[in-house]
Amino acid sequence: MNVTNADRARILVHALPYIQKYNGKIVVVKYGGNAMVNEKLKNSVVRDIVLLNLIGVRVVLVHGGGPEITEMLSKIGKQSQFVDGLRVTDRETVEIAQMVLAGKINKSLVNLIECCGGSSIGLSGLDGHMIQAAVKDSRLGFVGEITKVDPQPILDLLEKGYIPVVSTVGCDSQGNVYNINADTAAAKIAGALQAESLISLTDTPGILRDKNDPATLISRITVAQTRALIAQGVICDGMIPKVECCTNAIMDGVKKVFIIDGRIPHSILIETLTDEGIGTMFEKGEIV
């Protein structure tokens, strides 16, 4: 398909109201799923983030890395165990998680952002004790429940024009390190920053009334409606904790939260800079 200069101009004019809306505002992107392991999609996500940064959006990238942790544990002959979907994390495992999350993945993303023309600095929840945590469940070992987020290190980087890339490990006052669920961390960070929006990249189109039918996508939903759909079993299994993180972010003051399909190239731009949107948007009040 040939795109003329006139077509390009119309696209930019169409995007102008959204650029004005988000200029100077904080947008937190939770990055995970297939978009994080597929190299083509990874480049698409990073280019979207760099573009938003260049037009004045203050983007914060929060990432997990469960598959990479599993892969590294396998290399050293350690089998992963899970309880209620969460990894049992002994002291050796949390050391591996810290190495993979705060080291390999975090710095690779920072490097990729720089290569795409952005300016980025990586952080972990340990820096400045930004993410403080306590034991979530004694059965899980060093899996953390967030007790406090200090957003100042992130704000300092945003003020200087950097894209902060945050890995989700935290600590307590005794220096113990905890592995933190990335959805939970992104929601807490977005709330602490009073972000304009939180965008969660997933491997699903959003919330579906029928999980086998993408045509049943619910494009807008309130906190009360999510609770009803959980009770009805429409929202179930692994979507429940993701949805709960989204609604918690709304209750903590984030204006809008989105679950979008990270497998679609440039999904962040489609959701942010067009009036169509592609996923599910969460709001606090009732939809009129």
- Sketch the domain layout of the chain as residue ranges: 23-283
Do the strands 58-63 and 220-222 form a parallel or antiparallel pair, or are they unpaired? unpaired
| 197-242 pLDDT, tens digit each | 999 998 888 999 888 888 899 999 998 899 889 988 888 877 888 8
Q: Among the options 42, 136, 242, 256, which is catalytic?
A: 242
- Contact predicate 131/103, CB 8 Å: no
In degrees and rounded to multiples of 5, residue 92 shows phi and psi of -65, -40
DSSP string covering 44-68, please? HHHHHHHHHHHTT-EEEEEE--HHH
* For residue 152, pLDDT beyond 80: yes
> Who contacts 232 (Cβ-Cβ below 8 Å, separation ≥6)?
none
* For residue 121, pLDDT beyond 80: yes
- Contact predicate 30/198, CB 8 Å: yes
Q: Among the options 30, 42, 136, 188, which is catalytic?
A: 30
* For residue 158, pLDDT beyond 60: yes
pTM of structure: 0.92
> How far is 141 from 15, CA to CA, in rounded Å?
47
* For residue 163, pLDDT beyond 90: yes
User: Over the chain, what is the mean pLDDT?
Assistant: 90
The superfamily in CATH containing domain 23-283 is Acetylglutamate kinase-like (3.40.1160.10)
Residue 254 tokens read as: 């984030």
The residue ranking higher by pLDDT, 53 or 79, is 53
* For residue 41, pLDDT beyond 60: yes
Q: Among the options 141, 144, 170, 183, which is catalytic?
A: 183
Is residue 183 part of the annotated active site? The answer reads yes
Q: Among the options 32, 66, 141, 170, which is catalytic?
A: 66
Is residue 242 part of the annotated active site? The answer reads yes
| 242-264 pLDDT, tens digit each | 899 999 999 999 999 999 998 88
Is residue 30 part of the annotated active site? The answer reads yes
State the pLDDT at residue 251. Answer: 93
* For residue 165, pLDDT beyond 50: yes
- Alpha carbon separation from 26 to 7, 59, 62, 198 (Å, rounded): 29, 6, 13, 9
* For residue 38, pLDDT beyond 90: no
The residue ranking higher by pLDDT, 275 or 169, is 169
